[in-house]
Structure 1
Amino acid sequence: MVEMKWIYEWIMIVYGLSLIGYFVDFIQHNRKVNRFAFWLLSIVWILQTSVIVIQLIGQEEFPIRTIQDGLYFYAWILVTFSLIVNRLFKVDFIVFFTNAFGFFMMTLQIFAKAQNDATEQSLRLVSELLVTHITLALVSYGFFTFSCIFSFMYLLQYRLLKEKKWNKRLMRLGDLGQLDNFSYIAAVLGVPLLLIALILGVIWGYTSGEEFYLFDSKTLGSIGMLVIYLVYLFLRVVKDYEGRTMALYNTGAFLFLLVNFFLFGSLSNFHI
């Protein structure tokens, strides 16, 4: 049981890193990141296949009789198809969205299995995944904070340049294009982390037996925050908006983040 628990944990860790890599490639079309994400996903497939083989040997039948095993095998199929598509057809956007759904299925399987198997190891796994949810959410907040700081520095330098208040201190703020790009990169890293955190949190809420409301203020606020930053990336990547307009938008998005963290968090029934 202990060995299987560690395999599940490593699957989720590597799968999450792969998902982040595919998201970055989806946004920036970075082939190096794509290759790295592909090899991470290959490791996920090897670990998933190992679990199936171990269960097959131990049970002497194909492990697909329960809903939990079915979800696991479904996630394995999605990973398998994703590897084939990524390697042969190079349709990257399908790979990212398929694996976002596959990660959801994998997480749902682990929580459902732990709920039906109330052993100490299973309950500990649920607790660890909850900690992962909180940690990833806070790390994503960190990236969004850096993104906002870069946007604020951009707006400050933009105003000083427009008013022709050039001095040596202004040079220390950095180049406008550089600040704009750093702000964008930080948001790109923050979005997939927040997405994974929301997936873990929602599934934990429905399967842990604890009090949970999908329409809780903090839950809805977090979903709204994800949508706001997705719109930011859409405007940046698809509409080619940049500069002052995106810096103002990003600053407003961060203000909503603060409202969600402090106000919606205090109004929540179960968030702290």
Structure 2
Amino acid sequence: MFDLKWLYELIIVIYCLSLIGYFIDFIQNNRKANRAAFWLLSMVWVLQTFFLLGQTLLESHFPIVTIYDGLYFYAWILVTFSLILNRLFRIDFFIFFTNVLGFFMMMLHIFTRAQYDATEKAMRLVSELLATHITLAIISYGFFTFSCIFSFMYLFQYRLLKEKKWNKRLLRLGDLGKLDTFSYVAVILGVPLLLIAIILGLVWGYTSGDEFYWYDSKTLGSFVVLLIYLIYLFLRVVKGYQGRTMAFYNTGAFLFLLVNFFLFSSLSNFHF
């Protein structure tokens, strides 16, 4: 018999990629990212439909009796109608905001599933949530690290130009515009990954059976890191700041990220 667990995990992965694409389009007005996100979301709908049909065949009735089944069907409805309305009216941001909610419903589905179905498969799914949470968080930290390196190179290049030190090192650093853009793009990629990692971490915290504290140092630190980089995007996109000012801000943001990763982890009750 086909194990639907793997299908469910594939849905979550593709859904994450779709949301990242829509987030990039939301920040940069990137039509290529929008198209890729739309087709990824279409794949999510196809896989969700197969999963729904598979559950119906396995249980011999339409799976909507329990709360967690209802949440999954709700998420399917959100994906279905957002795709239809987007095709009819081309409201791009509508599909983005709707599927942020849809992804949240999928996370709630996992949470309630663990509450109602305390089987080995359900517990294994919860443990895999933890692995995914950690993986996405570390990948997001990698993007923030790249962003900081580009900002450092920007500041170094800026200083060389200001002091008129024309040498080979200046040429090998790259021009200021590209360094500034690369730093910005790295943050755009890191923010949605960190947001998804935090959501998965919260779901795991409530479903794992271990003690979970909202006031845990690493939990609060992760929220602050996310807020700092959201402020970075706000200053860059809405206020129009760029260049040297944002390079300094980005460097400071990364220093706090390091504090959260090393110091707050050691003070945490359940992070290591």
TM-score by length of 2: 0.96
How far the C-alpha of 1:116 sits from its partner, in A, is 2.7
**In structure 2, C-alpha distance between the alignment counterparts of 1:120 and 1:79, rounded to whole Å:** 29
Identify which range, 25-34 or 93-102, moves more after superposition. 93-102
Q: Deviations for 1:42-63, whole angstroms, at most 9, x for unmatched residues?
A: 1111111112222223334322
The amino acid across from 2:176 in the alignment is L
Q: Which residue of 2 aligns with 1:198?
A: 198
How far the C-alpha of 1:33 sits from its partner, in A, is 1.2
The amino acid across from 2:50 in the alignment is S
Q: Which residue of 2 aligns with 1:98?
A: 98
Q: Which residue of 2 aligns with 1:109?
A: 109
**In structure 1, C-alpha distance between the alignment counterparts of 2:193 and 2:31, rounded to whole Å:** 20
Q: Which residue of 1 aligns with 2:236?
A: 236
Q: Which residue of 2 aligns with 1:32?
A: 32
The amino acid across from 2:196 in the alignment is I
Identify which range, 151-160 or 84-93, moves more after superposition. 84-93
Matches within 5 A, 1:45-194: 45-194=45-194
Identify which range, 130-139 or 230-239, moves more after superposition. 230-239
**In structure 2, C-alpha distance between the alignment counterparts of 1:7 and 1:149, rounded to whole Å:** 38
Unpaired runs of 5+ residues, structure 2, are none
Corresponding position: 1:249 with 2:243: no
Q: Deviations for 1:26-75, whole angstroms, at most 9, x for unmatched residues?
A: 11111111111111111111111112222223334322111101111111
**In structure 1, C-alpha distance between the alignment counterparts of 2:136 and 2:105, rounded to whole Å:** 18
**In structure 2, C-alpha distance between the alignment counterparts of 1:84 and 1:223, rounded to whole Å:** 34
How far the C-alpha of 1:93 sits from its partner, in A, is 2.3
**In structure 2, C-alpha distance between the alignment counterparts of 1:266 and 1:133, rounded to whole Å:** 18
**In structure 2, C-alpha distance between the alignment counterparts of 1:89 and 1:251, rounded to whole Å:** 42
Q: Deviations for 1:87-113, whole angstroms, at most 9, x for unmatched residues?
A: 222222222222122112102212321
RMSD across aligned positions (CA):
1.4
The amino acid across from 2:260 in the alignment is N
What secondary structure is seen at the aligned counterpart in 2 of 1:81? helix
Q: Deviations for 1:193-249, whole angstroms, at most 9, x for unmatched residues?
A: 001100100011012111111121111111111111111111111111110011111
**In structure 2, C-alpha distance between the alignment counterparts of 1:101 and 1:198, rounded to whole Å:** 15
Percent of aligned positions with the same letter in both sequences?
A: 75
**In structure 1, C-alpha distance between the alignment counterparts of 2:243 and 2:37, rounded to whole Å:** 30
CA spacing shift, 1:123–1:44, aligned 2, 3 Å: same
Contact kept, 8 Å, 2:126 with 2:207, in 1: the verdict is no
Contact kept, 8 Å, 1:111 with 1:208, in 2: the verdict is no
Contact kept, 8 Å, 1:147 with 1:184, in 2: the verdict is yes
The amino acid across from 2:201 in the alignment is G
Q: Which residue of 2 aligns with 1:15?
A: 15
**In structure 1, C-alpha distance between the alignment counterparts of 2:120 and 2:59, rounded to whole Å:** 22
Contact kept, 8 Å, 2:127 with 2:208, in 1: the verdict is no
TM-score by length of 1: 0.96
Contact kept, 8 Å, 2:140 with 2:194, in 1: the verdict is yes
**In structure 1, C-alpha distance between the alignment counterparts of 2:200 and 2:114, rounded to whole Å:** 14
Q: Which residue of 2 aligns with 1:267?
A: 267
**In structure 2, C-alpha distance between the alignment counterparts of 1:236 and 1:94, rounded to whole Å:** 23
How far the C-alpha of 1:2 sits from its partner, in A, is 5.5
